[in-house]
Chains A and B, each alone.
Chain A
């Protein structure tokens, strides 16, 4: 079955006597048991909930995995993966990571005796040299946020496995429609489902999908023990959002490609980071492991001042953190989503202060380009006047 069909053809309510086409919201904390000494399928919503179960099964199918898990946020999902480690273990991560992930690795895990180190995963030899005997988890995003660097998932997986580590891939910038890391050898695929999976900025959620049953059991244990699973209402909204994933992303990606080319040809733009451009160093690799380049891109202007002014003059692109929604958004990662990266980690990575990240929505592409054009015009004119 093709992806578009898989998105909508799933059992929305297994066993339900009314056969609804939309999944019922089981907004309940607990479930009555038929017997005092034998539990039914559900006993307590922290441990399991029918609405969440439908979502979790669907997520697993879409990522070509066997078990899926829905969490209260992407960070709750990431935090759960780190609980597979113990005191003394080590994480090796790519150097271009979401700021919140860096904060978790460097500000919370270090207190529990788990080390996190960062290396450029695009340089496979140097990355491999950084793997230590204690490295249990290799952690990457691809394309990365916010520089859209493409990491070779197949080769990083092989490398991690040859050193006895597991590979976790944050697939938030792609969604299961464009890339399936488990098929490329990853052990865990993870999403901030707040982004493309939800697509409407109305849910904060996270997702994990795995194939290995023992890994799945451990993740389930922690989801229940730490109590960070997604609620029933949010599970329903996410299920609804996912149905239009392909429609949305096809449109967003088309718009993003047009905008990337527009930016590339614009005289005030210095560099454009988007793997869908033939000029991008990750172009071929992206084509070999994903089915598209997504709808997030970033660019520099040579001046942090100008970049800030562009964000503030843009009207359709609204200043928000997060990405992947039907609404276009614009942000300055160095000042917003990545402001939480500890300075010592920031020093290691090449995060330009004039970097502008945009997430392209489903508005009309002509309107989006006109908006960027006027924002670029006003921003550069204003800063020129200020210089004079």
Chain B
């Protein structure tokens, strides 16, 4: 008998239904409770206290694990709570971590401002060249943490190549897969040990919750994550878990539309006279397009670009959008437009920011599910309102 393997779009809907309610409700119930009655002293039905684990959170963890191809994931209050718990679980004073240099600003802040005080060191390296990862390994290195595509410049890291290095040195490899989710990229299939997600983004997909998730096949590591999570109290809340569970059912469908829109908009931007540069792994001009084709199922729906007209015009353009929303975060139904150097990466040293390609003129676009034509029209009018196209003419007039 052949075993029929379910497709991702089916798993996204049915992965969380492994536990059924007494009432056979089609949706898993929201267990908004902090504690559970024990049958006898020391005898419970698997749930004792919601800081440790809760049935609704457990259902989400099973669903995410099914998508990741792992045992149930471990869910956290936020993506940063997931990252914090991971590092506290695997690192102690004197230990060392290697982190992608293009990574979410909050992950950098965690190391610089908190873990450093506890005697935990980190090297930030350009992991797009795996040789840099290898060169940074020390006898105290315990974990390599990469983000690919990286936030915000979408720089890619070859997961398989880095995994070969970490395996050789017996170091853990964690991949922040927030920009793609397991639907578009399977880090564990490429040799990583740990997949990290900010579920706030595509997994929830509706901008309704903040949350984080960690998936691994390493049962011992999973147990350790659960121990640290209950000790520092970073567990996801039941209501947020319930909303996330609902949101993720449409993840594969949403992603398909998000990516279609992004691809159209990226091409339009690249051909626009006001645009200096577009970063999108689906474009021929993207230096790592081949790598994207190998390890990703799609280029994704995040785009970064720079305008020719400089920083002031960039701000004017950002302030002129009407349909796109100026807001942090990404991966929701609404198209969000952001200025990384003053928001998500504002806590970084300006020098460092520039060296990472996060210029003050860089714009990050999270392409939502509005009609791509409407998003394009909004950007067009914003460029016009900011005189982005006209500036060159003014300059040439002066010369004449």
Contact = CB atoms under 8 A, between A and B. Distances in A.
Nearest to B82: A227
B233 A72 contact: yes
Interface in A332-369: 332, 335-336
Nearest to A332: B41
A222 B232 CA distance: 13
Contacts of A72: 77, 81, 233-235, 237
B36 interface: yes
Contacts, number: 211
Contacts of A231: 77, 209-210, 237, 239-240
Contacts of B32: 202-203, 237
B72 interface: no
Interface stretch (A6-14, A107-115, A258-266, A275-283): A107-115
A204 B325 CA distance: 33
Given A29-B200, A108-B88, A201-B35, A79 B232 contact: yes
Interface size class of B (residues with CB under 8 A): 35 or more
A36 B326 contact: yes
B315 A228 contact: no
Interface in B302-352: 314-315, 318-319, 325-329, 332, 336, 339, 342-343
Which among A103, A114, A230, A231 has the highest number of chain B CB atoms within 10 Å? Answer: A231
Contact of B80 (A76, A225, A321): A225
Contact of A76 (B79, B93, B234, B325): B234
A338 to B, nearest CB: 13
Nearest to B79: A227
Contacts of B328: 30, 43-44
A36 B233 contact: no
A335 B233 contact: no
A332 B78 CA distance: 33
Contacts of B33: 201-202
Nearest to A77: B233
Contact of A75 (B79, B109, B231, B336): B231
Contacts of A37: 315, 318-319, 339, 342
Interface in A17-42: 27-37, 39
Given A30-B327, A33-B327, A112-B118, A228 B233 contact: yes
A127 interface: no
A355 to B, nearest CB: 12
A233 interface: yes
Given A77-B233, A104-B231, A231-B239, 8 more contacts: A30-B329, A46-B210, A72-B234, A108-B232, A111-B88, A226-B80, A227-B210, A336-B42
Interface in A83-135: 83, 85-87, 100, 103-104, 107-108, 111-114
Which among A46, A229, A322, A335 has the highest number of chain B CB atoms within 10 Å? Answer: A46
A75 B81 contact: no
Interface in A226-273: 226-231, 233-234, 237
B290 interface: no
A256 to B, nearest CB: 19
A29 B40 contact: no
Given A32-B325, A225-B106, A308-B41, A103 B35 contact: no
Contacts of B37: 318-320
Interface stretch (B48-56, B169-177, B189-197, B271-279): B48-56
B315 A36 contact: yes
Given A43-B328, A111-B93, A231-B239, A75 B232 contact: yes
Nearest 9 pairs between A and B by C-beta? A75-B233, A227-B80, A227-B78, A36-B318, A73-B233, A112-B118, A76-B233, A111-B92, A86-B117
